Amino acid sequence: MNSTVLLAFALLIVTGNLSAQSPEQVFERGNQLYQSGKFAEARDAYESILSNGYVSEEVYFNVGNTYYKLGNIAKAIVNYERACRMAPNDEDLRHNLQLANLLLTDRIEPTPRLFVWDLWDGVKETFSLRSITWITYLAYAATLSALSLLFLARTYKLRKVGLLSGAAAGILFVFCIVIFAGKLSDLGAADTAIVAAGITTIKNSPDPKSSDAFVLHSGVKVQITDRVSDWVKIRLADGKVGWMEKGAAEVI
């Protein structure tokens, strides 16, 4: 058996062993590598979990940490942002994202807006899509139960309980529906992306010969509002708009 065949056989064995590992086992292996300071190997372990379709806030958080340690701040922010969508109230995650943003070259100051919109965003961020879905379902079930008690109870006291509890559950149900609709609307809104290229020149139109609008550095968050061929139209938090090549940013 020649060396080429032996090498191929060995690769098959290794591949088979890796594929036989569960995502939990790979995740634990990544944690061990990270704790040993082998950040590139840990990143590869976490990325293999994601590439196989297994996603969670823990995996995104940890792979973001490996990119942070490796000095790739843009990729760290991408993964932190993805984790934030799944766990918006995780304090450690928010802290690491803030640390990563402090290392960015560009400082984009958001345009002022009415406080009610900030309040609305704060309410939405309190819940993940999964949690608000379950709360909405429970509020709906509670409303139906209370209404059943109202109409089926034989005593005035029980009907009163059904009326009051039904009103409270109904208000909660409507509130949850509004939050749920807001979360779905955010998912269907313009894509959010992180500039991946070190330095990107933003154009005034989707044409490489177009005049320059401004320059962005890696790690900046942008909103993609339109697409034309290999170009995307972006909007910054401060209101600036322009066109960039789509390969220069990674969608969150």
Model confidence pLDDT, tens digit, residues 195-248: 998 999 999 999 999 999 999 999 999 999 999 989 999 999 898 999 999 889
CATH ID of 191-251, from 2.30.30.40, 3.20.20.80, 3.30.70.1140, 3.40.50.360: 2.30.30.40
Residue 41 and residue 25 in contact, taking contact as beta carbons nearer than 8 Å: no
Model confidence pLDDT, tens digit, residues 101-158: 999 999 888 777 677 877 888 888 788 778 889 999 999 999 999 999 888 888 888 8
Which residue do the tokens 């304090």 mark?
A: 91
Topology (CATH) of 3-102: 1.25.40
Q: What's the rounded Cα separation, in Å, for the pair 37 and 39?
A: 6
Residue 159 and residue 147 in contact, taking contact as beta carbons nearer than 8 Å: no
pTM of structure: 0.68
